[in-house]
Amino acid sequence: MSTIHSKNAEIFNKDRAKTTWHDQTFWALREKHDNMAKQLPEWEELRSHASDIKRHTITHLADYLEKFSANLESRGVIVHWAADASEFNETVLDILKSHNVSKMVKSKSMLTEECEMNPYLEKHGIDVVETDLGERILQLLHQKPSHIVVPASHLKREEVGRMFEKEGISKEIGNYDPTYLTRCARYSLRKEFMDAGAGMTGCNFGVADTGDVVVCTNEGNADMSTSMPKLHIVAMGIEKLVPDYDSLAVFHRLLCRCGTGQPTTSFTSHFRQARPGAEMHLVIVDNGRSDMIADKEHWQTLKCIRCGACMNTCPVYRRSGGYSYTYFIPGPIGVNLGMFHDPQKHCENLSACSLCLSCDNVCPAEVAPGSQIYLWRQSLEALGKANKMKKIMSLGMSALFNNPPLYNAALKFAPLANMVPDSFTNLGHLNPWGVGHSNPEFAKKSFRSLWREGLK
């Protein structure tokens, strides 16, 4: 009864030391989150406000998008509307072609991952250079992010260092010091910023009231990407809107504290218009989000601000890694988003949750990704994706528990199961419980027998 996730997780867990390291890496981020939460007396108030503001904004999205886009257009920003990933990709390519751009630097954007923009642009002759260090490393290694905030955290310094040597980015052979490697990347990327024809950023928040596109980075790469090229393209999902600066303050305070456990990112950049002599384009993307709004059970998933806190706290993510999931966003929120994106394809991720609900508690916007996973599991049968073995077990339990006399009889004979030697049940494919557990011993007398015999 294994799923794709559980099979991948099993392979991941074969390297015990690396699993330990991975778990500790992300637990450290979880602890930093806790530290941050405890330093602000108003922490829980901020979370409930964030949730309420998002609920309001999402259910008034069309109005806010009109206001937001009108504000930007009044200052000369060109706004595009993309219904799906292919419209988004085509729009970006059109903008680049019409400006004769052959190289674009970009800062991190999960939306462009979602739309698989890089391969599309590359196919059409555009050189796309990721400028977030983690993303750049992954691009050169031809890998995907394993986490949405710290995308290359699954890699060891040696893996990065060897690749930098091969690419000619680092010159000192065998020097895998992170400071040295970061310097080498800085030098290499600096050249890219100088001659790129366009810079692309994502958008952490769009402020409807003022028409600000707000981008948060620690490296300053969004600013580098937009300070030199004469063309700035923003990729923005519709759910990124907030009404005004007062709302933005709430999210600004939560985003980084939850994600990396810092009180803020180093740079929070507000773009309202193109810089002098340049042009700014904004592509607003739906790609399934408007359908999410119509989903009565799961629409609040749109409140997510992509901080990554749910991944860091998830005991399953920490011990199975980002690549064990079939959707490009891993962890609790990724399990949910995958179900929206393509339930047939991504429902196998639903097993990756022990329902511990820690993610519900760290989520700054109270999306409750763990509780939502329980609900998604209820839709598996209708999708024709219920696991047969699990269904048989559940039907068996159901028959037993709905029939008290049968249940009584079963209890009476249960202790006989103790006679089966442990070694017989240590056969993983027949009895998954026996993979790592000794069987529990049935009591000689059940509670109900003891009750009848005079406990009362």
Partner 1 sequence: MKVGLFIPCYVDALYPEAGVATYKLLKHFGVDVSYPEKQTCCGQPMGNAGFERMAKPLARKFDDMFMDFDYVVAPSASCAAYVKVFYPHILEGEHECVSSKKIMDIVEFLHDVLKISSLPGSFNHVVSVHNSCHGVRELGLSSPSELNVPQFNKIIDLLKLIDGITIKEPERKDECCGFGGMFSVEETAVSIRMGEDKIERHMATGAEYVTGPDSSCLMHMAGIAKRENKNIKFVHVSQILAAGL
Partner 2 sequence: MNKEEFLNKLRANTTQQFDMPDMNINGIKYEDTVAQFISMTETSGGKVVNAKKDDDLNAIIRAAYPDAKVIASNVSGIDASLNPDTVAEAQDLNGTDVGVVNGEVGVAENACVWVPQTMKEKSVCFISENLVIILHKSCIVDNMHNAYKAIRMTDYGFGCFISGPSKTADIEQSLVMGAQAARSVTIILID
Residues 230-269 that bind partner 1 (CB under 8 A): none
If binding is defined by CB under 8 A, does position 439 make contact with partner 1?
Answer: yes
Question: Which residues from 188-207 bind partner 1, rule CB under 8 A?
Answer: none
Minimum gap (Å) between residue 190 Cβ and partner 1: 40
- Return the residue of 34, 291, 297, 422 that touches partner 2, per CB under 8 A: 291
- Return the residue of 18, 23, 27, 40 that touches partner 2, per CB under 8 A: 40
If binding is defined by CB under 8 A, does position 433 make contact with partner 1?
Answer: yes
- Site residue total, partner 1 (CB under 8 A): 82
- Return the residue of 210, 315, 341, 343 that touches partner 1, per CB under 8 A: 315
DSSP 327: S
**CB neighbours of residue 273 within 10 Å:** 17
| CB-nearer residue toward partner 2: 240 or 253 | 253
Minimum gap (Å) between residue 312 Cβ and partner 2: 11
| CB-nearer residue toward partner 1: 228 or 386 | 386
Question: Which residues from 227-256 bind partner 2, rule CB under 8 A?
Answer: 227-228, 238, 243, 245-250, 252-253
Four-residue CA torsion sign, 260, 261, 267, 270: positive
DSSP 88: H
- Return the residue of 210, 418, 425, 426 that touches partner 2, per CB under 8 A: 210
β-strands 198-201, 78-82 pairing: unpaired
Quick one: which segment of 2-10, 78-86, 351-359, 399-407 binds partner 2 (CB under 8 A)?
78-86
How far apart are the C-alpha atoms of 329 and 335, rounded to whole Å? 8
What sections of 99-204 are H helices per DSSP?
110-114, 117-123, 133-141, 157-167, 178-195
| Residue 36, φ and ψ in degrees, nearest 5 | -65, -45
If binding is defined by CB under 8 A, does position 20 make contact with partner 2?
Answer: no
| CB-nearer residue toward partner 2: 3 or 265 | 265
Question: Which residues from 363-422 bind partner 1, rule CB under 8 A?
Answer: 374, 377-381, 386-387, 390-391, 393-395, 397-398, 400-402, 404, 407, 411, 414, 422
Question: Which residues from 329-358 bind partner 1, rule CB under 8 A?
Answer: 350-358
Quick one: which segment of 83-91, 192-200, 271-279, 308-316 binds partner 1 (CB under 8 A)?
308-316
| CB-nearer residue toward partner 2: 1 or 83 | 83
- Which structure tokens are listed for 350? 């639903």
Q: Are 150 and 307 in contact (CB under 8 A)?
A: no
**CB neighbours of residue 46 within 10 Å:** 18
If binding is defined by CB under 8 A, does position 4 make contact with partner 1?
Answer: no
Question: Which residues from 293-352 bind partner 2, rule CB under 8 A?
Answer: 293-294, 296
**CB neighbours of residue 372 within 10 Å:** 22
| CB-nearer residue toward partner 2: 293 or 386 | 293
> Whose CA is closest to 436, among 427, 445, 424, 446?
427
Looking at the chain, the number of H-run helices and the number of E-run strands are 23, 10
Binds 167: which of partner 2, partner 1, none (CB < 5-8 Å by kind):
none
| CB-nearer residue toward partner 2: 219 or 279 | 219
Minimum gap (Å) between residue 376 Cβ and partner 1: 8
How far apart are the C-alpha atoms of 24 and 76, rounded to whole Å? 48
**Buried (b) or exposed (e) across 145-170, using 16+ Cβ within 10 A?**
bbbbbbbbbbbeeeebbbbbbeeebb
Question: Which residues from 147-186 bind partner 2, rule CB under 8 A?
Answer: 150-153, 155-157, 160, 178-179, 181-183, 185-186
Question: Which residues from 21-40 bind partner 1, rule CB under 8 A?
Answer: 23, 27, 33-34, 37-38, 40
Q: Could you give the 3-state DSSP secondary structure of residue 401?
A: helix
If binding is defined by CB under 8 A, does position 102 make contact with partner 2?
Answer: no
> Whose CA is closest to 110, among 142, 87, 132, 78?
132
β-strands 198-201, 231-237 pairing: parallel
Quick one: which segment of 149-157, 271-279, 298-306, 442-450 binds partner 1 (CB under 8 A)?
442-450
Compute the half-sphere exposure of residue 251: CA atoms within 13 Å on the CB side of its CA.
Answer: 28
Q: Could you give the 3-state DSSP secondary structure of residue 130?
A: strand
Quick one: which segment of 168-176, 180-188, 219-227, 310-318 binds partner 1 (CB under 8 A)?
310-318
How far apart are the C-alpha atoms of 236 and 240, rounded to whole Å? 7
- Which structure tokens are listed for 4? 């794709």
| CB-nearer residue toward partner 1: 182 or 354 | 354
